Amino acid sequence: MKTMLITGFKGEIGSQMLKELVKKNSNNQIIALDIAEKNQNHTFKNVEFIQDSITNIDLLQSIFEKHDIDEIYHFVALLSQSSKKNPELAQKINVDSTISIIDLAYDLGLKKKKFTKFFFPSSIAVYGPRKIALASEKDIIKPKSLYGLNKISIEQYGTKKHEQSILNCSGVDFRSLRFPGILSPYNIPTGGTTDYLPQMLHSAKNGLNYVCQVDKKTTLPFITIDNAIRAITQIMSPKSIESKLRSFNVQDFSISAYNFELILREMFSEFQIQYKSNQDMQNIADSWPESLNCELAISFGFSPDREIKKIINNLINLIDV
């Protein structure tokens, strides 16, 4: 039996990861934290729900004092567009609070003489300042957005604490995936630069036209929510990962906004899109890679799904109207 902490369990990835953790082993004890109120249908017997802010350091300390936590899945974040609008809050949530949890995991590991596994969802936002193809983990990292700067600072901090832990033979085992845009049939995301594709998907299914805030030629990588969850499970499953690199690329496919529109219009002939670029959003999208090199993640068991039309059809069928 393991004790797990999942933060941001109401979010796009967190909500599906919580279901996966519960399904994987009903004997595990799970502490689920989110500032939003839990759904009434969340009746998992092995889950302790806590409604509070990730910035409540006293609460975080009390959780680690009360529980011998084995694994942490940290999904709380202010996304790229939201971070730009409120940089002070982004610093508190994306950086300060995350460092606090890493430190608590590190201290717990030292105290219990073990490695506390810590999963951090990073982003293609760490890349920049110009668009490249097949970006590898060691390509140029000079992000233009505050969100990207927040993400790379945590990658670096988590890696540093991991290296300290190796020297101490205990502490925190930091693991991270650099996610592209995520396609999910379960909710409509907001606040992120890559949200235009899932928003298109939901608009088409619901019979609504769509105004896209990036140019039709904008090409970015994406991954389905189901494959994102599988990738997290795969990277967290091994007892250890023998690599000094602690953050790895994953994607299913890359596609332009216009080519995605064309596929949707094959299914929904009356679906219409207007392209009205938001310059701030476009500038960020133009600094992110158009595709990712995922060879390292594939060597750990990740399997990209590149059948775009089949993926879109499956997602459309899962969307509730």
Asked whether 181 and 194 are in contact (CB, 8 A), the reply is yes
Bridge-based pairing of strands 210-212 and 247-249 is unpaired
Q: Environment class of residue 169 by beta-carbon count within 10 Å: exposed (0-12), middle (13-18) or buried (19+)? A: exposed
| Domain spans, the chain | 3-180+224-249, 182-222+253-292+305-318
The whole-number pLDDT of residue 43 equals 67
Residue 317 CA to residue 219 CA, distance in Å, equals: 25
Q: Which fold has domain 3-180+224-249?
A: Rossmann fold (3.40.50)
CA distance to 7, 33, 34, 158, 298, per residue, from 53 (Å): 10, 8, 7, 21, 35
- Please name the amino acid found at residue 241: I
129 close to 142: Cβ distance less than 8 angstroms: yes
Pick the closest to residue 276 from 218, 321, 317 (CA basis): 218
- Strand partners for 217: none
Provide the pLDDT for residue 23: 87
**What pTM was computed for the model?**
0.95
31 with 70: CB under 8 angstroms?
Answer: no
Please give the pLDDT value at position 162.
98
Domain spanning 182-222+253-292+305-318: which superfamily? UDP-galactose 4-epimerase, domain 1 (3.90.25.10)
Note down pLDDT in tens along the chain; length 321 residues: 899 999 999 999 999 999 999 988 778 899 999 998 876 566 678 899 999 999 999 999 999 999 999 999 999 998 888 888 899 999 999 999 999 999 999 999 999 999 999 999 999 999 999 999 999 999 989 999 999 999 999 999 999 999 999 999 999 999 999 999 999 999 898 888 999 999 999 999 999 999 999 999 999 999 999 999 999 999 999 999 989 999 999 999 999 999 999 999 999 999 999 999 999 999 999 999 999 999 999 998 999 999 999 999 999 999 986
264 closest CA partner among 191, 179, 199: 199
Q: Helices H, strands E: what count in the chain? A: 12, 12
Q: Which residues contact 305 (CB under 8 A, 6 or more apart)?
A: 224, 227, 252, 253, 311
pLDDT of 42: 63
